[in-house]
Structure 1
Amino acid sequence: MKLNYKLYPFQNPNPNQQSIGDMIILHGLFGSLKNWVTVAKFLSEFGNVYTLDARNHGDSPHSDEHSIPLMSQDLEEFILQNHIKSPLLLGHSMGGLVGMYFDLTHPGILKKLIIQDISPRSYPFAYDNEINSMSFPLDGFSSRNQIDSEMAKFVPDTFIRQFLQMSLERNENGLYRWKLNVTGLNHARRVFDDVFDLNQTSETKVLFLLGGNSEYIKNTDFDIMDRMFPNNQKITIQGGGHYIHFTHQEEYLKILKNWLDKN
């Protein structure tokens, strides 16, 4: 599948700064490349940055099939089509699972991995409220505020609603629609089940960047990370949750810079 993407070319005010190479950013479930503008612009001071829309997200094609292996195939196709050599990959949540799966099944392709707040294991599809908040008919709604009020019946958290609404668009006729393939994602409820072979290992250098208050990381995950990706470093942002690239952006970017400068 040919994915939609945006390229942020390498730009650094220091003429002596050399590019570290190409970087790819993979967003999480219900996200899009629009969620990563600030991070991508920041990282473009180190090299070319490609932000991708996963299948069934953003402006990438919709499909009845949605799985980590298929998204890994999409990533391979993207890398080959764009002649990208030894990229560094940053993946958040679902994007992190895709990045780790790709690395384990395509050894030697990725130069480095940055995995945000996810572990190489199975996760439940615990997103009924989010799916329901995007499943009611949008006919008759004349403003985002009206849609937001209806969504709040399912998702009380304003931050999450605003995150979801980044995939809400209005066409030239004034009608709203979801760019997400909500039905397709709802049917892919086993997308995070039994993805990884826990006997697989990778020597790729990995930074696990975690939220201290995240519900996605358990103490037992550290052993899994060490077993499958022994060449890793873990950095936890205290007080952070799953979206530390938004909520703790200054600290997040500082950590990325320090890690890239040293690695």
Structure 2
Amino acid sequence: MKLSFKLYPFSPTSENQKSIGEIVILHGLFGSSKNWVTVAKALSEFGSVYTLDQRNHGDSPHANEHSIKLMSEDLEEFLSDHQIQNPILLGHSMGGLVAMYFDFTHQGVLKTLIVQDIAPRSYPFVYEKEIASMSFPLGGFSSRTDIDTEMAKYLPDTFIRQFLQMSLERLDSGEYRWKLNVSGLNQARRVFDHPFPEVIHSDTRVLFIVGGASEYITKDDLILIEKFFTNVKIKTIPFGGHYIHFTHQKEYLEILNKEVLLNS
């Protein structure tokens, strides 16, 4: 599948600065490349940055099938089409699972793997409220405010509603639509159920950045990470949740600068 993407060209801050290579970013479930604009601009100081829309998200095509394996294959196709070799691959949540799957099945391809707040294991699909908040008909709504009011009946969390609404598009006709393939994602409820191949092992240089208050990473997960990755560092942002690239952006970028970008 040909994925939509946004390119942030290498923009060095000095004449003698050399690129550390291409950086590819994979968003999480219900996200898109739009969630990574600020981070991508910051990282472009070190190399060209590609923010991808994964299948059924953003401006990428919709498909009936949605799995970690297929998204890894989409990534492989993207890297081949754009002749990107040995990239730094950053994945958040669902994107982190895709990034780990790609690394497990393509040893030696990545220069560095960066995984944000997700572990190499199964996860339940616990997004009924999110799906419900995007499943009512949008016909007749004339403003985002009215849509948000209706969404709040299903999803009280304002932060998550605003996050979802980054995928809400107003057409030239004035009507609204979701860029997300809501029905397709709703049917892919086993997407995080045993998503990896049988052999799970990596010697790739890996950095995990996790939120100290996140429900996605447990103490057992930290043990699991060190079991499967032989060359790994784990950095925790205290009090951070699942969206630390947004809520704790300064600390997040400082970790990337210290652990990856300045040492590549």
Paired letter, 1:135 = S
2:64 pairs with 1:64 = yes
Secondary structure of residue in 2 paired with 1:204:
strand
Residues 52-73 of structure 1: CA deviation (Å, up to 9, x unaligned): 0000000000000000000000
Paired letter, 1:99 = A
* Root mean square deviation, CA, Å: 0.8
Residue 153 of structure 1 corresponds to which residue in structure 2?
153
Structure 1 257/78 Cα, relative in aligned 2: closer, same or farther at 3 Å?
Answer: same
Structure 1 unaligned spans of 5+: none
Residue 112 of structure 1 corresponds to which residue in structure 2?
112
Secondary structure of residue in 1 paired with 2:71:
helix
Q: How far is 1:262 from its partner?
A: 2.9
Secondary structure of residue in 2 paired with 1:114:
strand
Q: How does 1:59-138 map to 2 (within 5 A)?
A: 59-138=59-138
Structure 2 unaligned spans of 5+: none
Q: How far is 1:254 from its partner?
A: 1.0
Paired letter, 2:228 = M
Residue 164 of structure 1 corresponds to which residue in structure 2?
164
Whole-angstrom distance in 2 between the partners of 1:199 and 1:6: 33
Provide the aligned length of Structure 1 versus Structure 2: 263
Residue 41 of structure 1 corresponds to which residue in structure 2?
41
Contact 1:27 1:91 in 2 (8 A): yes
Whole-angstrom distance in 1 between the partners of 2:198 and 2:126: 23
Paired letter, 1:28 = G
Whole-angstrom distance in 2 between the partners of 1:130 and 1:49: 29
2:249 pairs with 1:262 = no
Contact 1:199 1:228 in 2 (8 A): no
What percent identity do the matched residue pairs reach?
67
Whole-angstrom distance in 2 between the partners of 1:87 and 1:252: 20
Contact 2:58 2:167 in 1 (8 A): yes
Structure 1 moving runs of 4+ over 6 Å: none
Residues 33-58 of structure 1: CA deviation (Å, up to 9, x unaligned): 00000000000000010000000000
Q: How far is 1:196 from its partner?
A: 2.1
Whole-angstrom distance in 1 between the partners of 2:5 and 2:198: 31
Residues 182-233 of structure 1: CA deviation (Å, up to 9, x unaligned): 0000000000001124642110011100000001001100111111112100
Residues 83-140 of structure 1: CA deviation (Å, up to 9, x unaligned): 0010000000000000000000111111101100000100000000000000000011
